[in-house]
A and B are shown apart, each in its own frame.
Chain A
Amino acid sequence: MTTALQFSSILTEQPRQAAGRADPAVLADLNLDQVFAAITRGRDEYDLMPFLKAPLHDAQAVEYRHQILQDMQDEALSGALAGFAGQMRQMRKYLALSQELRYRYQKQEWFLEAADVYRDAVSTLAAALAELSPASRGFTAFRRYLADYTQSEAFTGLAAGIAKVTGALASVRYCITIKGSRVRVTRYEGETDYSTEVQRTFAKFASGATRDYRIGFRNPADMDHVEARILELVARLYPDEFAALDGFCARHASYLDATIRAFDREVQFYAAYLDFIAPMKKAGLEFCYPAVSADSKEISVRDSFDLALAAKLMPAASAVVRNDFQLRGPERIFVVTGPNHGGKTTFARMFGQLHYLAGLGYPVPAREAVLFLPDQVFTHFEREEDLATLRGKFEDELIRIRRVLDQATPDSIVVMNESFASTTLRDALFTGERVLGQMTRLGLLGVYVTFVDELSSLNEATVSMVGTVVPDNPAERTYKLVRKPADGLAYAAAIAGKYGLTYRQLKERLS
C-alpha cells in the first residue's frame, strides 16, 4: 500500500505538467517582479523563477502546497530544513572545488569532504522528520522516502566507506625539509616543534604582552605546484591510505540521490516565501490561506494589501493601507475612480497579485480571502511613448488591449490601469464602454481604473469602487477604497496647492 504515498515532488503530487509561463510584462505591471526578486534574493542557485512563473489552475494542487506550508510554519521543522539546505550548499561548494582543482589527490580529498557533508545532511534530516511527524501529504511521503533511503545499501555503503577512508588519512604524519632549492619529504619521526624550542631558549627575556608581528596569509583552497609535488610524495610514503581514497572516489562517484537533490531545490520555493513574509507578519500584517476555486467567480477579501508596497515600507509595513472587496452574483469587474494618489493603482495591483499568488499556492496578503483560480492574468497599464514604434500612445494602447481581448477567456483576469488616459474624456468614454462591454460579454473578472466616472455604472457586471479622502483635509488621502457610486471629486486643485503650484503661490515664488 505504499504506492498511494509514493513521493514524487514536494511541489506537486501530479506528474509534472507543462507549466504555463507568466508574461514578464504582467509581472512588472503588478510589481510582482519586485516581489519575486526579493523572494529569490540570495537563492540564485535554486533557480526558483520557473516555479514562480507557473501558477496552478487546480484547487487540489493548491491545497497540497497549503498543507506543506502549514507544516513548515513549525519552527522545529523549518529549522531542520534550513540546516539541511545549509549543508547541501556546503556540499556543492566542496564538489565545485573538487571539480575546479587540478591535482588528483586534492580533488579526491574535496570529494570525500562533500560526500561526508551529504551523509550528515541526509541522516540529520531523516531523524528530524521521523521525530517531528509533519502532517501534510507531501512531507509524510517524503519522510517515508528518506526512511527507506537511509536504510538502503547505497546510503549505508557510502557511510561505511567515508568512515574507513577518513580514519586512515587522519593517521598520516609527514615532514618537509627545505635546503636551498632542495625540498625533502619524510614520514614524521617525532621531531619537536621549533617554535617551542625558540620560546624556551628566550623564555627568560619574556615580559608581558607584545606586538603581534605575524603576517596574515591568504588561505586559498587551491595549491601551487610545490605543495602539489609534496602531496604526491606524501602519498608515496603512505600508499595504502591513498589507495583507499582512490577506491572510494571511484565507487561512489554518483552518490547524490536525484530525488533528494530535487527536494533540496524545490523546498526552497516555500522557504523563500516564508522568509520573505516573516518580517511583515512580525510587523503586524496578516496573511491567510485563501479558499480557492476554479469554478466560482464569487470572490471576497478582507484586509488585503499590496505586497510589493508593504515590502517597500518595511520595517514600517503596518502603515500599509488594507482594503476589502467582494463580488456577488453577476458582478465581475471593479471600476475604480477617485482622487489621484488615492490608492487606485495600488488596488489594481493588489487584485492582480492576490489571484496570482493564490495560484502559486502561497498564503496571500489578507486576513480572509476567497479567490478564483484564473487561467491567466492580463494587465493593461499606461506605457511611455516609444519613438521607435512611430505610433501614437493612444493607438499603441488600443493595439495592446486588442491583443489582450483576443487572448482572454471567461476564466481570465484583466487588470486595466489608467487606460486611454492620453486621449480626451469623450474618447476615453467611447473606448472604455466598448472595452468594458467586451470584457462583460466574456464574463471574466477584472479591475478597470479610470478617471471616467460614467464607466463605473455601465452594466450589472460593473461594481464602482471609489478612493476616499479625509473629510476635513481634502488633500490628504486615506488610500481606502469603498464600494459606492463615483462622485467625480478628485480634489486636484487641493493637491496642486500642496506642491505650491496655484496661481497665488507661483506669483509669490517667482517674484
Chain B
Amino acid sequence: MKAFLMYPDRDFDLERDLPPNEADLSSDLELGVLLRAMAGGDKYLFEVARHGLHSYLTSPPEIVYRQHVLADCTEQPEVVRDLYDVAVSAITEEKGIWGWLGRATPETILHRSRQVMQLYLGMFRRLRDITDAHAAGFRSEGFTRLFAMLARELDDEYLAEMEACIGELAFRRGTLISGRLGKGGKGMGYVLRRQPEQSWRDRLPGMNRSPGYSFVIPERDDNGMRALSDLNDRGLNGTANALAQSADHIKAFFGMLRAELGFYLGCLNLRDRLAATGMPVGFPEPAGPAPAGPSRVRLSARRLYDAPLALSLPDGTAVGNDLDADGKQLIMITGANQGGKSTFLRSLGLAQLMMQAGMFVAAESFTASVAAAVFTHFKREEDATMEKGKLDEELDRMSGIAGQIAPGVLLLCNESFASTNEREGSEIARQIIRALTEAGIRIIFVTHLYDLAESLHTQHDPAMLFLRAERRPDGSRTFRLPPGEPLPTSYGQDLYQSVFRTADQAARA
C-alpha cells in the first residue's frame, strides 16, 4: 500500500540526502523563516517541509501533479487534516504503547504487538470512514488513487478478518508448550544451584560469645517464576516475531502517509500565514528546460515578493515586483542601498524552489523555466576560524559552486566579490559571468560594482537585463526595481547624513 501523493510513481523519501548546498540556500534565502511558517511549531512538519522544498522537480507534469493535490487540500482542508490526524495518531499512539523494560522476551513482544495491531485496526476504520464520506469530493489524480486504494484494500471483509486474528492471539491461561523430557522426567536445561553453605561460620569457636548487633532484610525469591516464564517464552517465539514484523509494515505505511500529507499541511499553514499579510499567492506556470538557448528561457512575474520578509513585517507591507525577463541569460541588479535588491533576489530564488516543489509561490503570477538546481553566492561575514581572507573565502565558495554547476542551473549572486576593491572585484566577476553564461548557466547578480555593471551594460546584449533599485529625488526608496542602467553611486552619503543627524538630534534631546 502506497500513498503516492508526492510523486505519481514513487515514495517521498525523508532519508534522501538534501542537496549539498542546502545550508547555503537556507541562510541566503532565509528558508528557516519559511519552513517555520510551514511547520507551525511542529518539528516533524519542519523536517518534512525541508525535504519537500528541496524536491527540485524538473518535469512540468510532476509539478502539476502536486499542484492538483495541493488544490484539493486547499478546497477541503478539514478532510486532509482528519487524514493527517489518523496517521499521526497511529504513529504516536504506537510509541505510547509500553513494551518492556530491559531485555525483551517473546511474551512481551507478542503482548505489545497485539495491542499495536488493535490500535491499527481502529485507525483503518477511521480511514475507511473518511474515505466513504469524502472521496467523491476530491478531483486530483493523487487523492483519487489514494481513496480508491483505501476502499479496496481496507474493505469490511478484511477488517473483520483482522479483528478475528487479533482475538485468536489473545493471551491464554495454561499455554500449551511442547517439549522434551530428560532423565528422571525433568525438563532439559534446568540447573538447580545450591546456595553456598554458611555453616562454617557457626562452627567458629567463640562466635556467639562475641558482642554484636543484628538486623533482618526482607527476603524475596524470584527464581521459580523466571524459570516458568522462560519455558513459556520458548513456545511463543516464532509467532511473536511474525506479528511484530507485520506491525512494522503497517507502521511504515502510516509513516509515509503522515510524511506526504504533512508536506501539504505545511503548504496550507504557509498559505494561511501569507493570506494574513494581505499579499497574493498563486500557482506558478512551469515551463520545461530550454535546451535551444537563451531565447527560449521563460521568467516573468507579477507582484512577486519575499515571503520570509512579508512574514517578519508587522503589517504585511511587503512590496511586490513585476519582472519580464523571458529570453534573458543574465540579470544585473544595481541601485540604491536598501532599495530592495537583496529582497528581490531572495524572492526570485525562493519562487523558483517553491515552484519546483509543486507549491504555490509568493506572487500573483509566476512563469519560469525549470532549473536543474539553484545556487547562491552571497557575501558572508569573515571566517572566525581565520584560515582564509574574505576574498579567498568568496573565491573558494565560487570555486565549489563551479565544481557542481551544470547547464540549466540558476545562480544567484549577492554582492559577490565586493570584498576586494571595485576595480579588481569587477574584473574577477566579469570573467566568471562570461564563462558561466556561455556554459548555459543563468545568473541574477546584485552588485554595487559600478565598473562591472557599466561594462556589461555597454555590450547591449539582448540576453542581458538591467534593473535598478528606485530612489526618489528626495532620497527615499520605493523598494521597486524597474529596468534601468547602472548609475555611478549608491547614495551611501544620504544614509550617512541621516544616521549621524538622527543621532545628533537624539543626543540633543
Contacts and interface: CB of A to CB of B under 8 A. Distances in A.
Interface stretch (A266-274, A275-283, A415-423): A415-423
Given A341-B391, A392-B338, A501-B432, A510 B493 contact: no
A178 B212 CA distance: 13
Interface in B372-404: 379-382, 384-386, 388-392, 395-396, 398-399, 402-403
A23 interface: no
A234 to B, nearest CB: 9
Interface string A167-198: 00000000101111111111101010010000
A501 B402 contact: yes
A49 B63 CA distance: 56
A451 to B, nearest CB: 4
A398 B495 contact: yes
A181 B403 CA distance: 75
Contacts of A186: 210-212
A233 interface: yes
Given A189-B206, A431-B496, A501 B428 contact: yes
Given A184-B214, A185-B213, A390-B312, A492 B198 contact: no
Given A177-B201, A340-B392, A427 B489 contact: yes
A312 interface: yes
Contacts of A390: 312-313
Contacts of B216: 181-183
Contacts of B198: 178-179
A184 B459 CA distance: 103
Contacts of B288: none
A398 B503 CA distance: 11
Contacts of A312: 385-386
A28 to B, nearest CB: 8
B338 A395 contact: yes
Contact of A345 (B30, B212, B382, B435): B382
B421 A381 contact: no
A495 B395 contact: yes
Interface in A357-403: 381-385, 387-388, 390-392, 394-395, 398-399, 402
A32 B334 CA distance: 38
B18 interface: no
A401 to B, nearest CB: 9
Contacts of B396: 499
B422 interface: yes
A502 B389 contact: no
A384 B215 contact: no
Contact of A493 (B211, B342, B428, B491): B428
Contacts of B420: 340, 451, 490, 492
The size bracket of the interface on B is 35 or more
A428 to B, nearest CB: 8
Contacts of A427: 489-493, 496
A309 B386 contact: yes
Contacts of B380: 384
Contacts of A342: 389
Contacts of A402: 499-500, 503
A402 B497 CA distance: 12
B490 A495 contact: no
Interface in B338-390: 338, 342, 379-382, 384-386, 388-390
Contacts of B496: 398, 427, 430-431, 434
A501 B495 contact: no
Contacts of B403: 509
A237 interface: yes
Contact of B424 (A233, A382, A492): A492
A424 interface: yes
Contacts of B30: 387
Nearest to B421: A451
Contacts of A395: 337-338, 495, 499
A410 interface: no
A506 B381 CA distance: 26
A344 B419 CA distance: 13
A308 interface: yes
A21 interface: no
Given A384-B381, A395-B337, A340 B489 contact: no
A481 to B, nearest CB: 14
Contacts of B309: 387
A476 B386 CA distance: 17
Interface in A249-272: none
A194 B197 CA distance: 13
Contacts of A388: 312
A180 B391 contact: no
Contacts of B219: 180-181
Interface in B196-226: 198, 200-201, 204, 206-207, 210-219
Contacts of A25: none
Contacts of B211: 186-187, 237
Contacts of A177: 201, 207, 212
Contacts of A501: 395, 398-399, 402, 428, 431-432
A341 B419 CA distance: 11
A346 interface: yes
A184 B213 contact: yes
A391 to B, nearest CB: 8
Which of A181, A426, A506 has the most chain B CB atoms closer than 10 A to its own CB?
A: A506
Contact of B492 (A28, A383, A431): A431
B413 to A, nearest CB: 13
B214 A185 contact: yes
A499 B431 CA distance: 13
A345 B210 contact: no
Contacts of B206: 189
Contacts of A180: 219
B75 interface: no
A392 B495 contact: yes
A511 B435 CA distance: 10
A229 interface: yes
Interface in B393-451: 395-396, 398-399, 402-403, 405, 415, 418-422, 424-425, 427-428, 431-432, 434-436, 438-439, 448, 450
A418 B432 CA distance: 24
A499 B394 CA distance: 10
B430 to A, nearest CB: 8
B459 to A, nearest CB: 15
A333 to B, nearest CB: 20
A24 interface: no
B149 interface: no
A422 B379 contact: yes
B337 A423 contact: yes
Nearest to B27: A384
B435 A507 contact: yes
Interface string A17-30: 00000000000100
B436 A189 contact: no
Contacts of B213: 184-185, 233, 236-237
Contacts of A344: 389
A422 B402 contact: no
A316 interface: no
A384 to B, nearest CB: 4
Nearest to B338: A392
A502 B403 CA distance: 14
Which of B342, B424, B491 has the most chain A CB atoms closer than 10 A to its own CB?
A: B424
B401 to A, nearest CB: 10
Nearest to B396: A499
A488 B420 CA distance: 11
B325 to A, nearest CB: 23
A390 B495 CA distance: 15
Interface in A114-129: none
Given A181-B217, A384-B380, 7 more contacts: A175-B210, A182-B216, A309-B386, A345-B386, A501-B399, A509-B402, A510-B405
The 5 closest A-B pairs by CB, nearest first: A427-B492, A341-B389, A506-B435, A186-B212, A492-B424
6 contacts: A181-B218, A189-B210, A398-B496, A426-B489, A503-B435, A506-B431
